[in-house]
Amino acid sequence: MKTANLIKAAFTAIVRNKMRSFLTMMGIIIGVGSVVALVSLGSGAQYDIEKQIGKMGTNMVLVIPGSSRFEGVRGGSGSLEALTMKDVEVLRKESDLLTYVSPVVRTQEQGVAGSNNWNTSVSGVAPDFISIRKWDIASGRVFDEREIRTRAKVAVLGRTVAKELFGDADPVGKRIRIRTIPFNVIGVLTEKGQNAMGRDEDDTILVPSTTALYRLRNGKNINMIMASAVSDAAIPQAETQIEGILRRSHHIPDGQENDFRIRSQKDLVSMATSVTGTLTILLAAVAGVSLLVGGIGIMNIMLVSVTERTREIGIRMAIGARSSDILLQFLLEATVLSALGGALGLMGGLGGAYALGSMLDTSVLPNTFFMAAAVLFSSFVGIFFGFYPARKAAGLNPIEALRYE
């Protein structure tokens, strides 16, 4: 039989039992659709995380305190009070691979303006912080070095805090109160939105680092040092240089571990995306199991089809069809079923991914490789699971087949 006739016969057999054919394909449709949807959403989530972390600043390097140790018991990261304003000055003076350096002194406070109040994060920073974070001023200005030296009571508000305390009015020139201390509002930051962890970046108040350290904190240790390397390529060298400078500044002997930790923007991206990447692969693997289940369904239906069409097979053989023709016909039917299921699953998976992406407000990035692999795998499943029924059909005795009722 010609291949075209075999393909036509395969489609005819499938169309003849539309509902059964569709139900047979359901396992393949669900499997391929799940793989495509999960991988597309996972890739979109990785893209969103990289984009959000990218908003944190260019070539950013973080220095955080290390973990404390007491009688063999170690605290968590950042539990050791090891960083001071002196470290910031030393880095500014000795490092030639850092363009900006800023201390960060954080505290959670209640901001009050008239009858409105809002609990928010207050960060004591240097003017360099704005450049490191690539943050623009929507109105007003940022504090300067003179205000850092004099521990001035001035504040720059994030968009969320400005809205909660002043509504739609411009807060520049007005006054807020943090604890019992009055602060003059000198600026408002542009809107950044949520970060990769879901935290509202605009829910913050920036004040001079010395003001936060000496008026709102204990006047000794800072939470972290935030810096920006001269270029992307210079980040590894900048990290090494920072480590050397701070080890000398902290008088840490050779062989003793650091009392601080260094993290770059690339580290943050790697840690965040590795979680979503692993989860996506695991979910896609689970979804792939349904492809195998769909393949078993195809094999069962094809076995039923061989039994139902035994007499037809006998007639074909009687008029000259070879065993290889019968084998190829049933293999084509199984392959067409799985390929059609794969195509429908591909369309359904993409549609489902975009629908969920719209509902969850996340990006959707279809992965061409995974899409092609899922459809090809579904076709392979059809060939693999269709081979046994096809071989059984091809091995029928023509005389016995013709006498089958």
pLDDT tens digits, one per residue of 14-63 = 777 777 778 777 878 887 888 888 788 877 877 777 676 666 655 889 99
One domain for residues 229 and 90: yes
Query: pLDDT band at residue 79, thresholds of 50, 70 and 90?
Result: very low
One domain for residues 105 and 239: yes
One domain for residues 327 and 180: no
One domain for residues 313 and 227: no
Q: How does 198-219 read in b/e, with b if 16+ C-beta sit within 10 Å? A: eebbbbbbbbbbbbbbebbbee
Q: How far is Cα 202 from Cα 162, in angstroms, rounded to an integer?
A: 9
- The lowest-confidence range among 106-115, 183-192, 305-314, 365-374 is 305-314
One domain for residues 204 and 252: yes
One domain for residues 278 and 387: yes
One domain for residues 13 and 155: no
One domain for residues 211 and 348: no
Give one DSSP letter per residue of 237-285, joined into a string: HHHHHHHHHHHHHTTPPTTSPPSEEEEEHHHHHHHHHHHHHHHHHHHHH
Q: Give a yes or no: residue 41 inside a domain.
A: yes
Comparing 147 with 275, the larger pLDDT belongs to 147
One domain for residues 250 and 101: yes
Of 258, 284, 319, which residue sits at a domain end?
A: 258
Q: Give a yes or no: residue 76 inside a domain.
A: no
Query: pLDDT band at residue 70, thresholds of 50, 70 and 90?
Result: very low
Q: Give a yes or no: residue 135 inside a domain.
A: yes
The whole-number average pLDDT for the span 279-301 is 70
Residues 6+ apart with CB under 8 A from 269: 49, 50, 53
Q: How many domains does the chain have?
A: 2
Q: Give a yes or no: residue 67 inside a domain.
A: no
Question: What whole-number percentage of the chain has pLDDT above 70?
Answer: 76
One domain for residues 88 and 229: yes
One domain for residues 245 and 275: no
Of 201, 231, 258, which residue sits at a domain end?
A: 258
Q: How far is Cα 220 from Cα 209, in angstroms, rounded to an integer?
A: 12
pTM confidence score: 0.62
- At 257-269, the pLDDT tens digits run 888 999 887 666 6
Q: Give a yes or no: residue 91 inside a domain.
A: yes
Residues 6+ apart with CB under 8 A from 202: 158, 159, 160, 161, 189, 191, 192, 193
Q: Tell me phi and psi for residue 278, to 5 degrees.
A: -65, -45
Question: What whole-number percentage of the chain has pLDDT above 90?
Answer: 35
Above 90 in pLDDT, residue 177?
yes
Q: Give a yes or no: residue 72 inside a domain.
A: no
Question: Which residue, 34, 47, 93, is CA-closest to 272?
Answer: 47
Burial class (CB in 10 A: 0-12, 13-18, 19+), 39: buried
One domain for residues 282 and 216: no
Of 258, 284, 309, which residue sits at a domain end?
A: 258
Q: Give a yes or no: residue 352 inside a domain.
A: yes
Domain that residue 319 falls in: 3-52+271-402
Q: What rounded mean pLDDT belongs to the chain?
A: 81
